[in-house]
Amino acid sequence: MKCNHTIHSHACHCGWDNANAPALTIKPGETIQFETVDSSGGQLNVKSTLDDLKKLDFSKVNPVTGPVYVDGAEPGDALKVTLLEMGPSGWGWTANIPGFGLLADQFKEPALNIWTYDKSTLAPALFGKSARIPLKPFCGTIGVAPAEAGTHSILPPRRMGGNMDIRDMSVGTELYLPIEVKGALFSVGDTHAAQGDGEVCGTAIESPCMVSAKFELVKGANLAFPRFRTAGPVARHLDGKGYDVATGIGPDLMSAAKDAVAGMIDLLCKQQQALSAVEAYMLCSVCGDLRISEIVDMPNFVVSFYFPRIVFE
């Protein structure tokens, strides 16, 4: 689509900082097309191998394109970002990175899967010989600059947005971000072709995309945290064949989450005997959903992991 402005991928940064010089200044109501870099910071590509993964420079990961200064934006306002279009690249990667991910204590060796997919049709992407992953491109990192001075890591999500990894940050979604500094200083990146809720191994289908968005201001909104509105149903690309579900139950939500994911990995390996445990773990990350099913019947809570059967059927 045609936008008022374009920002290319060379205008990127690897840390939130309200002292970053704007790459662009816009007026409310204008649109921008962003060219993003994958979360490796361009260190991986469609020909990458496990050796390339092992050599990752983590000071370059999770770059975001921007920042954008929005005229009239003041602390206490909200920036309304409407996601208009995603332009997928047709390739991506998923990895198990030692020391990272929900089950890092169980999966200590690196693993890498390179994906290719049809960027026009977005037909399900093939994993191995039998798994096909329905695609839903979205923005993993999207936010504005924090009020605190200095450079802050992009890796953790923050009250002003950032690396939220919410798979519903896709076309049609309206996102409202709490503005903390004059001009807002918006940036976006870490785009994905698909991800499950929880991104349990720490990576999804990491895939560079073009992102088109419209920007508006809501004066005096005084949001404590981001909120968003989706344009319609959010799981139809996955739920056509139902789910297999594993649970974790106990007094600690994190432990219950780990137990639920581990239970699903065990089930997948039994059902799909050609699948290794780390492959099942990566599949869980790109298409399975981690959910809190019960949080009121203390002292024990229930966390469920939903794996869509459409992947193998």
Confidence of residue 228 (pLDDT cuts 50, 70, 90): very high
Neighbours of 241 (CB within 10 A): 11
Residue 269 reports pLDDT greater than 90: yes
CA atoms within 13 A on the CB side of 41: 17
For residue 55, the model assigns a pLDDT of 97
Residue 218 half-sphere exposure toward CB, CA atoms < 13 A? 16
Residue 1 — very low, low, confident or very high, per pLDDT cuts 50/70/90? confident
pTM, to two decimals: 0.96
Distance, in Å, from the CA atom of 120 to the CA atom of 92, rounded to the nearest integer, reads 15
Q: Is the pLDDT of residue 216 over 90?
A: yes
Nearest to 91 by CA among 141, 134, 44, 130: 44
| Ordered structural domains, the chain, with CATH | 5-229 (2.60.120.580), 239-311 (3.10.28.20)
Residues 6+ apart with CB under 8 A from 113: 93, 94, 95, 127, 279, 282
Dist. CA 72–CA 183, nearest whole Å:
7
Question: Residue 92 pLDDT > 90, yes or no?
Answer: yes
Specify whether the backbone of 306 is left (phi greater than 0), alpha (psi in -120 to 50) or beta: beta
